DNA sequence: TTGAAAGCGTTACCAA
DNA sequence: TTGGTAACGCTTTCAA
């Protein structure tokens, strides 16, 4: 270490830099002068090798540019940098294989902890991984040693949205489901059903169509629904992307939102304020979730237990849903 | 190194792993068996320290979740992983300070090269940086030792879009400008002007309004334009986000796209296929640009010179622009 | 083609 | 509170 050329032993410099032990004021001053003079910056590679710690946290997201997870990344980045950790962002592309490759790569880089946003790997793998290093996962309910999880309250969100439509007078509310294998999808469906039940509306399977969580899926689901002749006055999509697709399908059929059909989305993507009409949607405080995940992983690293509490979702009401048209009250309920 | 426990000297193993020198077939076989048996994986931290190379490339984007740059990241990731480099993604948030911090952090991590997507730092800084390590920048025209740049053809894209509108019969074409300090913004404006000129249409400053490259800006610009009473039959927004804002403002005023006003965007974001109506937009082959940047940085590392050629933009025609309404031909030209 | 040995820039342990 | 010294796991001369 260069700083030693201007003073003391390398150990002392290291101790000063890391606050590992007390250093006498005089030595401290001498060292600080030398550091300044030499423009010294620690080499994290070397300290990672020697100390076994890298001050890096691996962050696995499924798509780097996902408008949904993007906000979580922002929160994670902010907290991590503040805690003097460097985030390493990688994307798993929703493929367990890629995710495993990312994990291996991060492990070999000796990251101090790992955050996985909605993992695609099975629970057992994650539990095993958590035994090797501190792990935080979102979008899944999981507990174990060295593991901390934070699930969105999808049930509550879907309940909220459905209830809003019911209060507006809608009784025939279609639901566009997400990918069945996705835990978010099933929870959102459950929330929808629960709200119907709570308001004494029978669940009609004919109103539930699959949309694969993408625009095209929402579009096809809506076309399918319209073609089937099933009557409905409102639609709830299990995510905003499917709602965009649904809006296009309705538009092509000459149906107006909200006049002919009310539409509600889920996730409140940035673009949803600028759809025509602006889309009512369920919002998770996703950036806050990222912040919590980042705090959790640093806590785990310090050997603390951590408790995360998913902040409650809220409904952002915009122009895409209005009262049920009274002329359609005659529809079967 | 563990592999040596099962055979030869660490140097030989290193040579085999890196292809630094020839290894006799027998030794090679023995070593490979040992590697397999021990499940050995190189420690990039250690080899980075010893060799001075990290096989990491730093990638600085301005916003990790940008729908525009996201595709570039995909291309970069793909090529880099294929070349056995690991990308390190960080975001500069369009702030020179953050960008500098990112650069320092990546430098201290000893990345072998750097890709900066549309840097916010001044040219001089970038030129200086390129002297320290191989650097590739996009969205800017810059040459120097160890430096390679790839600019989008913004001029051609804007020309293409404007010409399309002119061919549809539009003469009064409003233009929503991006942030003035952004080089993309000025090139797009130039392209618009050039197309007008080529078709004998006088440039009217009253038709050019600033929109800051964001939805809200496009919305306000459009409101401003409508309030000003300036006649126009078409609008070209310097990016899709502003086009979304413009669409909302038109919608609020009861103006229909494309019947009352034709609208064209720029960048062809994923969402633009699903706006109402789907948006005609200029598309850069942005993923290909990412791939080129990644190839360029690996070439630079190997000491090769590199030539990058920005692929030509194309116009994706959707439903948001139709022929100019003949009833409006009386508008001042 | 191979091995021995000297680092790379830190941290961590042990003695002082 | 300090310094000495041995790692950390690999690459890279230099000789053989």
Residues of chain B with pLDDT > 90: what percent? 69
What is the reported pLDDT for A40?
84
If asked whether residues A191 and A246 sit together in one domain, one would say: yes
Is B316 inside any structural domain? no
Is A302 inside any structural domain? yes
Query: How many DSSP H helices and E strands does chain B contain?
Result: 11, 11
If asked whether residues B145 and B256 sit together in one domain, one would say: no
Q: Residue A247: which domain range?
A: 154-279
If asked whether residues A140 and A88 sit together in one domain, one would say: yes
Nucleotides of D under 7 A from a protein CB: 1-13
* Rounded Cα–Cα distance for residues A220 and A211 (Å): 7
* Rounded Cα–Cα distance for residues A57 and B2 (Å): 27
Instruction: Report the chain B residue with the minimal C-alpha distance to residue A46.
Output: B49
If asked whether residues B96 and B125 sit together in one domain, one would say: yes
| Other residues' Cβ atoms within 10 Å of the Cβ of residue B20 | 11
Is the per-residue pLDDT at B330 higher than 60?
no
Is A113 inside any structural domain? yes
- Whether A220 contacts chain B with CB within 8 A: no
If asked whether residues A173 and A218 sit together in one domain, one would say: yes
If asked whether residues A133 and A210 sit together in one domain, one would say: no
**For the stretch B52-91, what's the b/e string if a residue is b when 16 or more beta carbons lie within 10 angstroms of its beta carbon?**
eebbbbbbbbbbbbbbbbbbbbbbbbebbbeeebbbbbbb
Q: Virtual CA dihedral for A71, A236, A219, B287, nearest 10 degrees?
A: 0
How distant, in Å, are the alpha carbons of A271, B213, B214 from that of B219?
Answer: 13, 11, 9
Is A23 inside any structural domain? yes
What residues does A91 pair with on adjacent strands? Answer: A61
If asked whether residues A27 and A64 sit together in one domain, one would say: no
Where does B52-182 have alpha helices with state H?
67-82, 96-108, 123-132, 154-167
Q: Which comes out higher in pLDDT, residue B158 or A48?
A: B158
User: SS3 for B87?
Assistant: strand
If asked whether residues B220 and B252 sit together in one domain, one would say: yes
Nucleotides of C under 7 A from a protein CB: 1-13
Across the interface, whether the CB atoms of A276 and B215 are under 8 A apart is answered: no
Report CA(A301)–C1'(C11) in Å, whole number: 18
Write out the DSSP string of A172-234: -EEEEE--TTSHHHHHHHHHHHHHHHHTT----GGGEEE-TTSHHHHHHHHHHHHHHT---SE
Query: How many DSSP H helices and E strands does chain A contain?
Result: 11, 11
If asked whether residues A184 and A228 sit together in one domain, one would say: yes
Contact A236, A185 (CB under 8 A): no
If asked whether residues A147 and A291 sit together in one domain, one would say: yes
What residues does B293 pair with on adjacent strands? Answer: none
Q: What is the CATH number of the domain that holds B205?
A: 3.40.50.2300
Q: Virtual CA dihedral for B15, B18, B19, B23, nearest 10 degrees?
A: 30
In this prediction, the residues of chain A whose per-residue pLDDT falls under 50 are 327-333
What is the reported pLDDT for B332?
36
How distant, in Å, are the alpha carbons of A34, A92, A286 from that of B67?
Answer: 46, 17, 18
Q: Which of residues 281-300 of B touch A (CB under 8 A)?
A: none
Provide the strand spans (E) within chain A. 56-61, 86-91, 113-117, 135-138, 147-150, 173-177, 208-210, 234-237, 262-266, 280-283, 314-316
What is the reported pLDDT for A329?
38
**For the stretch B126-141, what's the b/e string if a residue is b when 16 or more beta carbons lie within 10 angstroms of its beta carbon?**
bbebbeebbbbbbbbe
Is B329 inside any structural domain? no
Contact A235, A222 (CB under 8 A): yes
Look at chain A and report how many structural domains it folds into: 3
Is B194 inside any structural domain? yes
Name the protein residue, with chain letter, whose CA is nearest the C1' of C5: B11
Please state the φ and ψ torsions of residue A115, each to the nearest 5 degrees: -120, 125
CA atoms within 13 A on the CB side of B213: 15
If asked whether residues A242 and A273 sit together in one domain, one would say: yes
* Phi-psi map region of A89: left, alpha, beta (phi>0 left; psi -120 to 50 alpha): beta
Q: Say whether the peptide bond before residue B277 is cis (omega within 30 degrees of 0).
A: yes
Is B60 inside any structural domain? yes
Q: What is the DSSP letter of A326?
A: G
Across the interface, whether the CB atoms of A89 and B89 are under 8 A apart is answered: yes
If asked whether residues A177 and A71 sit together in one domain, one would say: no
Report CA(A125)–C1'(C8) in Å, whole number: 36
Q: Which nucleotide is nearest to A2 (CA to C1')?
A: C9
Q: Which of residues 178-217 of B touch A (CB under 8 A)?
A: 215
* pLDDT, tens digit (0-9, with 9 covering 90-100), for B54-108: 999 999 999 888 888 998 999 999 999 999 899 999 999 989 999 999 999 999 8
Contact B308, B292 (CB under 8 A): yes
Q: How confident is the model at residue B1 (pLDDT cuts 50, 70, 90)?
A: low
**For the stretch A223-250, what's the b/e string if a residue is b when 16 or more beta carbons lie within 10 angstroms of its beta carbon?**
bebbeeebbbbbbbbbbbbbbbbbbbbb
Rg (CA), chain A: 25
Instruction: Report the chain B residue with the minimal C-alpha distance to residue A85.
Output: B105
What is the reported pLDDT for A1?
63
Q: Which of residues 77-116 of A touch B (CB under 8 A)?
A: 77, 86-91, 104-105, 108-110
Q: How confident is the model at residue B331 (pLDDT cuts 50, 70, 90)?
A: very low
Which residue out of A65, A244, A248 would a mutagenesis test of the B interface target, given it has the greatest number of B Cβ atoms within 10 Å?
A65
Tell me how close the Cα of A242 comes to any Cα of chain B, in angstroms.
10
Report CA(B4)–C1'(C2) in Å, whole number: 13
- Whether B138 contacts chain A with CB within 8 A: no
Q: Identify which of A48, A67, A273 has the shortest CB distance to residue B67.
A: A67
Tell me how close the Cα of A111 comes to any Cα of chain B, in angstroms.
10
* pLDDT, tens digit (0-9, with 9 covering 90-100), for B275-324: 999 999 999 999 999 999 999 999 999 888 888 888 899 999 999 998 88
Q: Which comes out higher in pLDDT, residue A25 or B7?
A: A25
Is B271 inside any structural domain? yes
- Whether A1 contacts chain B with CB within 8 A: no
What residues does A87 pair with on adjacent strands? Answer: A57
| Other residues' Cβ atoms within 10 Å of the Cβ of residue A47 | 18
């Amino acid at each position: 270490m260069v700083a030693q050329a201007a003073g003391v032993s390398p150990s002392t410099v290291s101790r000063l830099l890391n606050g590992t032990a007390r250093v006498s004021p005089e030595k401290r001053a001498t060292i600080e002068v030398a550091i300044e003079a030499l423009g010294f910056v620690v080499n994290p590679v070397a300290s990672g090798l020697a100390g076994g710690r890298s001050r890096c946290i691996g962050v696995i997201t499924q798509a780097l540019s996902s408008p949904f997870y993007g906000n979580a990344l922002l929160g994670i980045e902010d907290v991590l940098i503040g805690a003097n950790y460097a985030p390493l962002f990688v994307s798993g592309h929703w493929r367990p294989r890629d995710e495993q490759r990312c994990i291996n790569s991060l492990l070999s880089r000796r990251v101090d902890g790992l955050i996985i946003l909605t993992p695609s790997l099975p629970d057992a793998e994650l539990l095993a991984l958590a035994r090797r290093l501190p792990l935080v996962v979102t979008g899944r309910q999981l507990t174990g040693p060295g593991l901390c999880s934070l699930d969105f309250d999808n049930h509550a969100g879907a309940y909220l949205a459905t209830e809003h439509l019911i209060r507006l007078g809608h009784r025939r509310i279609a639901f566009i489901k997400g990918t069945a294998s996705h835990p978010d999808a099933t929870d959102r469906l459950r929330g929808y059903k629960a709200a119907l039940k709570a308001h004494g509306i029978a669940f009609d399977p004919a109103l539930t169509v699959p949309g694969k969580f993408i625009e095209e899926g929402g579009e096809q689901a809506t076309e399918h629904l319209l073609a089937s002749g099933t009557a409905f006055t409102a639609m709830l999509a299990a995510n905003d992307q499917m709602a965009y697709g649904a809006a296009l399908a309705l538009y092509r059929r000459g149906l107006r939102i909200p006049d002919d059909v009310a539409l509600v989305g889920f996730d409140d993507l940035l673009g949803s304020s600028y759809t025509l009409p602006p889309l009512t949607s369920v919002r998770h405080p996703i950036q806050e979730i990222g912040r919590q995940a980042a705090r959790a992983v640093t806590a785990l690293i310090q050997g603390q237990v951590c408790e995360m509490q998913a902040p409650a979702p809220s409904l952002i009401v915009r122009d895409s849903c209005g009262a049920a048209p009274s002329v359609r009250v005659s529809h079967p309920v």
